[in-house]
Each structure stands twice: as C-alpha cells, then as structure tokens.
C-alpha cells in the first residue's frame, strides 16, 4: 500500500458489484476487510459497472463504517476463464484491441439473457454485444442509452462487439493517442 494525501493506494480484485444496488466490494491483495466501492466512485472513473474478478487499483479511506474506495485509479478485465460459449467469441482476440473505437449508444442489454445491442453513430445496423465480451472488457452491465466505445468485428451473424469501453474511458484513450502522435 502507498499513502497519498487522500488515502491509501490499494490493489485488489472486485468481489462483486451490483449496478442496480449502486455498490459492491473489493478484496485487497494484501488482505484486510472488504472495501466498499460505491457507484458514484466508479462513475467518477467513467464506468457504470465493473466485472466481478476484475483487477482494480483504488485510493481508500478508513471511516466509521469501514474501508471505502474514494477514487478508482485503474481497472483491468478479469483473466480469461470458463465463460459463456459463443461460436463467434473464438474470433475475438487481443488483435481486436487495435481496431478503432466506434462511438455507440446501448439500445438494450439484458444481463440475464447474456446479450444486448448497441447502435453505432451513422450506421443503420445494430451491433451485438455478448456478456462474455463485456466481462472481458472489464464491465458487468450496460444501461439503455449509455454512451460506449466499441471495437467491432464481422461475426458469422453480422457486426458484433469485440471490446466495449465506457465513453469517458474511450475519450481519455483517444487523448493519450493524440499526445503520443504529437
């Protein structure tokens, strides 16, 4: 753990996060009590959800109610594991992370069904989003109307997301790329 003016920097993984309830918990790599992760802290990072088992780095503070996250510094998607099976997922790999981000709005996403669709600006066809791609992207759920960045491939049944990122994160990534090219 490192100290900052605002609290301690902690690395760990997401135990669970429920966007409907507006909070979840993180387990620190160094042990100790579970760390409360409130939806507002996650939103300040630019995401509305985070996948269970995602690696996360936080600034935390101890309060009368326990240890709480005050800022998210970094999120890494969970390690690949036994996720849902979809034949098109075999086409989704690390090389797809080099595809350009396309601005999109979530049309609908049903976590229970394990999929949903988004509309890319200026394109008539929907983009299929599978829950396993969402999980691999470090997200747990999407809300209708949410702005996202999609890396899209042509699957067997049409356009599908190979990677999903919150729009705020996509903007920060684009700014870093412009700064590196300058």
Domains and CATH numbers, the chain: 2-76 (2.40.50.140), 87-177 (2.40.50.140)
- Grade residue 120 by pLDDT with cuts at 50, 70 and 90: very high
Residues, the chain: 182
pLDDT of residue 83: 44
pLDDT of residue 5: 59
Residues 115 and 8: their CA atoms lie apart, in Å, by 37
Residues 148 and 46: their CA atoms lie apart, in Å, by 10
In sequence order, what are the residues at sequence separation of 6 or more whose Cβ sits closer than 8 angstroms to the Cβ of residue 87? 156
Q: What is the DSSP letter of 114?
A: T
**Long-range residue pairs from 12-16, CB within 8 A, at least 24 positions apart, any chain:** 12/55, 12/56, 12/58, 13/53, 13/54, 13/55, 13/56, 13/78, 14/50, 14/51, 14/52, 14/53, 14/54, 14/56, 15/52, 16/52
pLDDT of residue 91: 56
pLDDT of residue 85: 44
Instruction: Kindly tell me if the per-residue pLDDT of 22 is higher than 80.
Output: yes
- Average pLDDT of 125-140? 89
42 neighbors 17 (Cβ within 8 angstroms)? yes
- pLDDT one-digit tens code per residue, 46-89: 888 888 888 999 999 998 888 999 999 999 887 765 444 445 55
Residues 127 and 48: their CA atoms lie apart, in Å, by 20
User: H/E/C letters for each residue in 152-175?
Assistant: EEEECCEEEEEEEEEHHHHHHHHH
**pTM (2 d.p.):** 0.59
User: What is the SS3 assignment for 9?
Assistant: strand
Share of the chain above pLDDT 70, in %: 84
Please give the residue that has the higher pLDDT: either 106 or 21: 106
Q: What is the DSSP letter of 125?
A: S
CA distances from residue 9 to 13, 30, 57 in whole angstroms, order as listed: 13, 11, 7
pLDDT of residue 30: 93
Burial class (CB in 10 A: 0-12, 13-18, 19+), 64: exposed
Q: What is the DSSP letter of 39?
A: H
| Share in percent of the chain as helix, strand, coil (round to 5) | 20, 45, 35
Please give the residue that has the higher pLDDT: either 129 or 170: 129
């Amino acid at each position: 753990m490192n100290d900052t003016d605002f609290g301690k920097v902690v690395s760990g993984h997401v135990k669970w996060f429920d966007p409907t309830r507006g909070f979840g918990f993180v387990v620190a790599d160094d042990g100790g009590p579970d760390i409360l992760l409130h939806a507002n802290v996650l939103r300040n990072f630019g995401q509305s959800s985070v996948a269970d088992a995602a690696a996360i780095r936080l600034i935390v503070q101890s309060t009368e109610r326990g240890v709480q996250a005050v800022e998210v510094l970094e999120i890494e998607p969970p390690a690949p594991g036994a996720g849902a099976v979809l034949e098109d997922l075999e086409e989704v790999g690390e090389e797809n992370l080099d595809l350009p981000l396309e601005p999109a709005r979530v049309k609908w996403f049903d976590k229970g069904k394990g999929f949903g669709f988004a509309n890319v600006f200026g394109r008539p066809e929907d983009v299929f989003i599978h829950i396993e791609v969402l999980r691999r992207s470090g997200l747990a759920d999407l809300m209708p109307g949410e702005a996202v960045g999609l890396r899209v491939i042509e699957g067997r049944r049409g356009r599908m997301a190979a990677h999903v990122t919150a729009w705020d994160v996509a903007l920060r990534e684009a700014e870093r790329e412009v700064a590196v090219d300058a």
